[in-house]
Amino acid sequence: MKPELIPVLDRQTIARLVCDLGAKISEDYRGRPLVLIGVLKGAFIFLSDLVRSLQIPVEIDFIQVASYGSGTASSGEIRLCKPIDVDVRNKDVLLVEDIVDTGLTLQFLLDYLSAMEPASLNVCAMIDKHERRRTGVSVAYAGHRTQEGFLVGYGLDYDQKYRELPEIYHLQF
């Protein structure tokens, strides 16, 4: 049976949330060299909207990891596929994620980036999902905080599908 798409965040709501995040980040990092690192693939749409809502200059890079496992659960076994190119030493770094679920991917990325000695390291995620959190990672900037559900659209996929949808939906199996 085909899964059902239940609307969670429409275009206007997403635009407002991203605009608010951009304003907050601009205020917090004003006058400091900020590097935004988008986590591929999921964060590509969120990051592209976020940078255009900022009022401060930034450097942009991408990182990609693969998590073994399929379906809607992360296995926790993570491998780096694409490292960063920008030198982040002594710079403020903001890791930009589509969604934080168990937090295992984020923990892996924070460990990897911390070793490069940035001046500071924080996380901005479009969705901060709590139910399955297994680490103590904190998301300093979250567009939307939720308890549960598998979300798709606005870069978020299920089996590489639905990323292109401009709204965010709950995928009901």
When the beta carbons of 36 and 104 are compared against ligand IMP, the nearer one is 104
Minimum distance from CB of 14 to ligand IMP (Å)? 15
What's the rounded Cα separation, in Å, for the pair 14 and 77? 31
Which of the residues 13 through 42 are near ligand IMP (CB under 6 A)?
42
Q: Contact between 38 and Mg ion (CB under 5 A)? A: no
What's the DSSP call for residue 83?
-
Q: Contact between 101 and ligand IMP (CB under 6 A)? A: yes
Q: Is 61 a catalytic residue?
A: no
Minimum distance from CB of 65 to ligand IMP (Å)? 8
* Per-position x/- string for 145-164, each x denoting binding to ligand IMP as judged by CB under 6 A, each - no binding: -----xxx---xx-------
When the beta carbons of 42 and 153 are compared against Mg ion, the nearer one is 42
112 three-state secondary structure: helix
Q: Which helix (H) or strand (E) holds 169?
A: strand 168-172
Adjacent-strand bridge partners of 144: 127
E strand segments, 30-167: 34-40, 58-67, 78-82, 92-100, 120-129, 141-146, 151-152
56 φ, ψ (degrees, to nearest 5): -130, 155
Q: Contact between 42 and Mg ion (CB under 5 A)? A: yes
Residue positions annotated with a catalytic role: 101
Give the binding site for ligand IMP (CB under 6 A).
42, 67, 74, 97-106, 150-152, 156-157
